[in-house]
Amino acid sequence: MSISYVSTRGKAPRLGFTETTLAGLARDGGLYVPETLPPLPDIVRKPYAETAFRIMAPFVGDDIPAEDLKNIIDASYKTFTHPDVAPLRQLDDNFYLLELFHGPTLAFKDIALQFLGNLFDYILARKHQRVTIVGATSGDTGSAAIEAFKGKQNADIFILHPKGRVSEVQRRQMTTVDSGNVFNIAVEGSFDDCQNIVKALFNDEKFRDEMSLSAVNSINWARILAQVVYYARATAQFVKPVSFCVPTGNFGNVYAGHVARGMGAPIEKLIVASNRNDILYRFFQTGEMKIQPVAPSLSPSMDIQISSNFERLLFELQNRDGDATAKIMESFRETGEFKAAPAIMAQLKTGFTGGKLNDAATLAAIGATHRKYGVTVDPHTAVGVGVAEAWRRNNPQAAIIALATAHPAKFPDAVQQATGTAPDLPPSLAGLHGRAEKCDTLPADAAAVQAYLRERARK
């Protein structure tokens, strides 16, 4: 038996695990969530991959034989350079960092995407299917997706980035991957142009079917599931409940913590940490979710105006009423605003709270963490650490874990500015500058990108 998955908008068919994984977004525009949550299994003092298997197995059920699921998980976490995959590092009394950046691209997205790449390839092989993955990136997600799908038999991956507008390290992390099924496209335009092209490709139904287009964005349930593991595993190392502080963009990471808590992991508060793009912070303050233009910050992977995964929480807050959720999302799309009833806010605040750091405070947090604890953090992690420090002042007895979502070497300029020293380059980055790049430049034109894909994708 597998757990069934239902759409947050109530109209799409219920699906099992593998179909939910392949679908990504539900047909009614909603997001898939499990119908029920299994209880947390015994995971005390188990290695990471074993923990992941125990937690994921009930969500997968009969859809994948246990041995195969084990192999998929083992392969996914073998690529991590730390034996513990996601080690916990103590900073102070009751204060910890959970390091999620030991994967191939040095950002936490590897934890979910390494698993998703292997899972997709397995499911597709069994169904004798092939997909063409297309995505737009402003930096980090593209390289994590490319690392996850390089060399896969049943998927080709095309990643669009705005030409000249991603950092050299970010570009090289994508373009130096030498694999026949990986295609980098530098678009002569902005990140918005890239996203609009990708949308146009997916909206062209004939092209979508012809190429079996697929996306692996952060709303995919399998990505959330992979992230539940490190929350539950971290809590199992404590004798009392802990809180987490999570640097947030799409609300995917923090939502995974909420799922872990729903399964019984002893998590007290989930603290949502925002940069200057603070739609969630303002929501927790006022009960009003209101879109504002995105402004660039030192933590670019959190520069987001709509936190897509929030819809999953909203569905719960509406007592899992798909029609009610669809109505709210529809009106939010039209007006850019949503106001939560006081009762809903009260319920929400029992489990969540929010904090924010602007760029100056982010630099100050990198500097202070370096001075006080001798630990160098990247700007995303610093937003979490800074918000966590403020929370600790009001909750001195409580244990708190801040999530470290990227390796500091990915953001050398901010680190140098804040600490006076450039971060050490890990081996995977050190070799980057010597390698040949593979990338094609195209105009910001959907038809040109379509022709490019048609010529190159294996069908």
Binding status of residue 211 toward ligand PLP by CB under 6 A:
no
With CB under 6 A as the rule, give the number of residues binding ligand PLP. 17
Binding status of residue 311 toward ligand PLP by CB under 6 A:
no
CB of 309 to ligand PLP, least distance (A): 7
Interface map 122-141 toward ligand PLP (x if CB under 6 A): ------------------x-
Q: Which of 18, 214, 243, 248 binds ligand PLP (CB under 6 A)?
A: 248
- The nearer residue to ligand PLP, 58 or 384, going by C-beta atoms, is 384
- The nearer residue to ligand PLP, 141 or 176, going by C-beta atoms, is 141
**In 335-431, which ranges are E strands?**
337-339, 352-356, 399-404
CB of 247 to ligand PLP, least distance (A): 5
Interface map 264-293 toward ligand PLP (x if CB under 6 A): ------------------------------
Backbone angles phi, psi at 136, to 5 degrees: -110, 145
CA–chain centroid gap for 342, Å, is 29
Question: Cα separation of 322 and 357, whole Å?
Answer: 34
- Terminal Cα distance for the chain, rounded: 33
CB of 223 to ligand PLP, least distance (A): 9
Q: Which of 30, 252, 354, 412 binds ligand PLP (CB under 6 A)?
A: 252
Element (H or E) spanning 141, and its range? Answer: helix 140-149
| 421 DSSP 8-state letter | S
Binding status of residue 235 toward ligand PLP by CB under 6 A:
no
**Could you tell me which of 333, 335, 361 has the C-alpha nearest to residue 276?**
361
Is 70 catalytic? The answer is: no
Question: Cα separation of 4 and 317, whole Å?
Answer: 20
Pair type for strands 131-136 and 213-214: parallel
- The nearer residue to ligand PLP, 9 or 109, going by C-beta atoms, is 109
Q: Which of 250, 277, 369, 376 binds ligand PLP (CB under 6 A)?
A: 250
CA–chain centroid gap for 189, Å, is 25
Q: Which of 76, 105, 137, 218 binds ligand PLP (CB under 6 A)?
A: 218
- The nearer residue to ligand PLP, 233 or 380, going by C-beta atoms, is 380
Write the single-letter amino acid at 366. I
Q: Which of 40, 302, 314, 449 binds ligand PLP (CB under 6 A)?
A: 302
CB of 343 to ligand PLP, least distance (A): 26
Catalytic residue among 70, 78, 109, 410: 109
Binding status of residue 60 toward ligand PLP by CB under 6 A:
no
- The nearer residue to ligand PLP, 20 or 277, going by C-beta atoms, is 277
- The nearer residue to ligand PLP, 34 or 300, going by C-beta atoms, is 300
Q: Which residues bind ligand PLP (CB under 6 A)?
A: 107-109, 140, 218, 247-253, 301-302, 380, 405-406
Residues annotated as part of the active site: 109
